[in-house]
């Protein structure tokens, strides 16, 4: 299936980058290793805020190979998951089938999804994706429209600081080579103040920001107050 990306809030070069390495989505030591590493942390955080996911309608925006979508489905959520990289979705679908998980994967942008569904969601997650789109504020506006009243939104992205450039671009891409060169563009990193401004302009309420901090010495991530690199924003709809 081909889609006309003209005028969409989609950067085709970004989609191509993810498509090219789609076969590695489920390799825990492959190019998506950092996402596998942070997944238990962000899952715990989400479960802590939402409680029981059983029967909840959940949308995962920019789902990739489904690392987060699957763990949310396993926790009982009724998951719809969208992405613009067809290769990633193929991998996601096969993997979910192998694990007997019923996830509704769709090749759609969130803007398109909003136009074509009457479904409204209890929970929306959009993790590590906003820094890859031309206009992140549009994603947030669409999530706001797709949420039910009292719905919960979880966004995660990367702060635009000297430390994030050093750690996530120079360190992770060039020195340690944990992730492919060119994965991140520093200028597209998002300051918490910018994110909060978009959230509030969409009529949503930011509740909490929490850092996903990398501990160099013990080589692991943990949640904490320091939001100068990766962070999660927990947001609700009034």
Q: Which of 46, 103, 133, 172 binds ligand SAH (CB under 6 A)?
A: 133
Task: Establish whether 83 is an annotated binding residue.
Answer: yes
Question: How far is 174 from 201, CA to CA, in rounded Å?
Answer: 37
Task: Establish whether 42 is an annotated binding residue.
Answer: yes
- The 3-state DSSP class for residue 229 equals coil
Q: Which is nearer to ligand SAH, 113 or 150 (CB)?
A: 113
Task: Establish whether 62 is an annotated binding residue.
Answer: yes
61-100 footprint of ligand SAH as x/- string (CB under 6 A): -xxx--xx--------------xxx--x------------
Residue 155 lies near ligand SAH (rule: CB under 6 A): no
| Packed helices 67-74 and 33-50: angle between N→C axes, nearest 10 degrees | 40
8 A C-beta contact, residue 42 and residue 13: no
Residue 233 lies near ligand SAH (rule: CB under 6 A): no
Tally of residues, the chain: 238
Using a 10 angstrom Cβ sphere, with 0-12 exposed, 13-18 middle and 19 or more buried, the burial of residue 69 is buried
The distance of closest approach from Cβ of residue 219 to ligand SAH in the complex, given in angstroms and rounded to an integer, is 20
Question: How far is 65 from 55, CA to CA, in rounded Å?
Answer: 22
Interface contacts to ligand SAH, rule CB under 6 A:
9-10, 14-15, 18, 35, 62-64, 67-68, 83-85, 88, 109, 127-129, 132-133
Give the residue numbers of the binding site for S-adenosyl-L-methionine: 42, 62, 83, 127
């Amino acid at each position: 299936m081909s889609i006309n990306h003209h005028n969409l809030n989609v950067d085709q070069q970004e989609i191509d980058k993810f498509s090219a390495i789609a076969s590695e989505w489920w390799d825990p030591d492959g190019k998506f290793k950092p996402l596998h590493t942070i997944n238990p942390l962000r899952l715990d955080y989400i479960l802590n805020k939402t409680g029981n996911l059983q029967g909840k309608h959940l949308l995962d925006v920019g789902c990739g190979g489904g690392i987060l979508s699957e763990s949310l489905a396993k926790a009982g959520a009724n998951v719809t998951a969208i992405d613009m990289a067809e290769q990633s979705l193929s991998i996601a679908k096969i993997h979910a089938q192998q694990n007997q998980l019923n996830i509704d994967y769709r090749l759609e942008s969130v803007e398109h999804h909003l136009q074509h569904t009457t479904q409204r969601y209890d929970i929306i997650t959009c993790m590590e994706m906003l820094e890859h789109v031309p206009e992140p504020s549009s994603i947030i506006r669409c999530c706001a429209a797709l949420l039910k009243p009292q719905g919960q939104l979880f966004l995660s992205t990367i702060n635009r600081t000297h430390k994030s450039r050093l750690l996530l671009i120079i360190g992770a891409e060039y020195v340690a080579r944990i992730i492919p060169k060119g994965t991140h563009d520093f200028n597209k990193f998002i300051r918490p103040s910018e994110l909060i401004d978009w959230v509030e302009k969409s009529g949503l309420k930011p509740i909490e920001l929490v850092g996903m901090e990398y501990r160099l010495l013990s080589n692991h991530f943990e949640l904490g107050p320091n939001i100068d690199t990766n962070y999660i924003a927990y947001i609700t709809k009034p």
